[in-house]
Amino acid sequence: MTKDLDDRMHFAIDLARRAGELGLKYFRDLDSLAVESKGHQDLVSEADREVELFIRAAIADVYPQDGIIGEEHAAVTGTTGHVWVIDPIDGTANFVRGIPAWCVVIACARDGETVVGVIHEPSTDETFYGRLGGGAFLNGKPIKTSNAASLSEGAVGTGLSNRASTKNVVTLISLIMAEGGVFYRNASGALMLAYAASGRLLGYVEEHMNAWDCLAGMLLVEEAGGTVLRADPKTVLDHGTQVITGGSRIFPGLQALCAEAFEPTH
């Protein structure tokens, strides 16, 4: 089983890097990029769709019996219990405006539990990756979540979900700042989760995230020694989850603030 997970992880690392190279070609030629709106502050580009097709083709070639769930194309049902969960470009709003804060996200789940996670940021050539029980790494070096116990010791990544009330995140930010903390947002939830896993951020929270945005990063936070609000394996792939993550010492306080700011989950 361990060898299979290692094989899947190394496959995903290589694939994310190759997909990132393809994404960079579009990123360097934005003047000719076709972009459309899916809703308020929700964009999709030709690059998103083409990079996802590239990733799907590679998975179908190597793991033809596995399922695939992605942001831009229909789900593929598999027979192995393994499902690849992909976001070809997380941070599309940044991407289409020339801001180099976007990433390729590839996770693999087995019966709803994430077993492999890779987040690759092409603009900096940083690849965050890990597998269940194997630790978390950045370009080959082990990473650890922050050991901070106080919000005054760093910044908390905050997401803005279009499936939750805007006032809730405003409330959360106010609570964080009242405790001497600051918030950080770069419009890529997956990248902020990677930063939480590597200790650059104290943690990352968002009232609701889709599976393709959060599964890889949540695994990395746990494998880097942090704590996450556990997602329901029966529903997370189809319906997403609330995300609260952080270093183990900061997590209880963050969870308490989120309980105060967010709508109760049912």
Instruction: For Cα atoms 140, 108, 74, give the angle at the middle one, nearest 5 degrees.
Output: 130
State mean pLDDT over 147-153: 97
pLDDT band at 243 (very low <50, low <70, confident <90, very high): very high
pLDDT tens for 11-60 read: 999 999 999 999 999 999 888 888 777 555 556 678 888 999 999 999 99
pLDDT band at 240 (very low <50, low <70, confident <90, very high): very high
| In the predicted structure, residue 4 carries a pLDDT above the cut 60 | yes
State mean pLDDT over 195-223: 97
